[in-house]
Structure 1
Amino acid sequence: MTFHPLDANGRPLDEIALEGMQVCCIVGVYRAERHTPQPLRLDVSLYLDTRDAANRGGLKATVDYARLSGELRFLLENASFRLLEAAADALCRYILAPPTPDLHRAQVQAVTLRLAKPEALSGGTVAALAVHRRADEYRYAVEEKSFGRVDVIYEDGGAGIYRLRLKPGGAIATHEHREMEESELVLGSGLWLQGAPVAAGTGFRWPKGFPHRYDNPSAHEQTVLCVDRPAFLPHDEIEVPLPEGGLTRPEGVTYYPPGASEGAHG
């Protein structure tokens, strides 16, 4: 199937491709697949107008593919999708969502995404799915919160993907979860986690009952990408007092390669 999306003036959009990304993750419906990570191959084509980037330079007019690849890897490693179809839809919804200011990238107008499970079948057969989506196909719920707002990127019975957008001076109070499994990736470069600065591109998995909080002391909105399994349960956002010994952090995982930071040029 040929996919050649056009801009509002009828001109073909430019294509940025991420090819051959390999992620080891939980994806599938069978018992063995639900407990054992397997390799997944991801190929993505992003469609947008890159003329401004070519003429002016800088990533705000295009896409920082180093950062985006880390964000997609984080989602695949933490959402534990049951179906390739669900994984593809969730990733497309994330890619095509209007970018937050701290992402410093242009709006992607359309996407082609292919997922393949090279070891799911015997005899050398590869199970794969390819989808084509446009930004105008999607709508995103927005929830106003005391700390700012939440963008609901994707939800199904098994997982939810959210952008937590902390306004300047905003804070997500110390809280814990007792039912949900939660993973978070820091997107903004001005956030504090557990009372100390945290680098953009750092991901965390929060054990159940582990108190955590975010603060935004900066003058700009800062974003956290959040995966909850199952999808967010309001009654499981339990505010708790500070522990006697203070807040600690689990070991973080770096999802952005060196140099993939605010103001970098590709």
Structure 2
Amino acid sequence: MDKIYIEGLEVFSLIGVYDWERVATQRLVVDVTLYTDLSQAANSDKVEHTLNYAEVATCIELVAKSSEFELIEALANEMIKAIFAQFSLPKIRLKLSKPDILANALNVAVEFTRENPH
């Protein structure tokens, strides 16, 4: 299976459990692997034969911007559901990072790998 990677996509979301986290959006970083067949695009060199990764990035950004989840687990799950709803993909791996949350850690993240239920 071929893959398209979007790495280090910065998004902003109202996310967190604590009251101080609920007053302003926070920076999150998304790394996503989109599993798909790229053979037609590789042979044709035509953009219409591949997945538009800019549209996937926009989908992720819109989910982050419009949500108010407490947990990054819930937000990551919602991002995956939105990607599956908009794009025909058999499988997605998504890592959602909250890099600015712990002063003594570089990052806190969750990672999900999901197959399309349809």
Please give the TM-score of this superposition, normalised by the length of structure 1. Answer: 0.42
Say which structure, 1 or 2, has more relative contact order (CA 8 Å, 6+ apart): 2
User: Relative to total residues, which structure has the larger helix share, 1 or 2?
Assistant: 2
Distance in 2 (CA, whole Å) between partners of 1:58 and 1:84 is 36
Report the count of equivalent residues: 118
User: Relative to total residues, which structure has the larger strand share, 1 or 2?
Assistant: 1
Q: Any conservation in 1 of the 2:59–2:83 contact (CA below 8 Å)?
A: no
Matches within 5 A, 1:7-86: 13-86=1-74
1:134 aligns with 2:115: yes
The structure number with the bigger radius of gyration is 1
Structure 2: where are the runs of 5+ without partners? none
Gap change, CA 1:98 and 1:42, over 3 Å in 2: closer
Q: Which residue identity is paired with 1:30? A: Y
RMSD over aligned Cα, in angstroms? 1.6
Distance in 1 (CA, whole Å) between partners of 2:31 and 2:37 is 20
1:102-139 per-position Cα deviation (integer Å, ceiling 9, x unaligned): xxxxx211011001111111213421101100013xx5
Distance in 2 (CA, whole Å) between partners of 1:52 and 1:97 is 22
Q: Which residue identity is paired with 1:19? A: E
Distance in 1 (CA, whole Å) between partners of 2:58 and 2:85 is 16
Gap change, CA 1:125 and 1:56, over 3 Å in 2: closer
Structure 1: where are the runs of 5+ without partners? 1-12, 100-106, 140-266
Residue in structure 1 matched with residue 91 of structure 2 by the alignment:
110
1:123 aligns with 2:104: yes
Secondary structure of the 1:23 match is strand
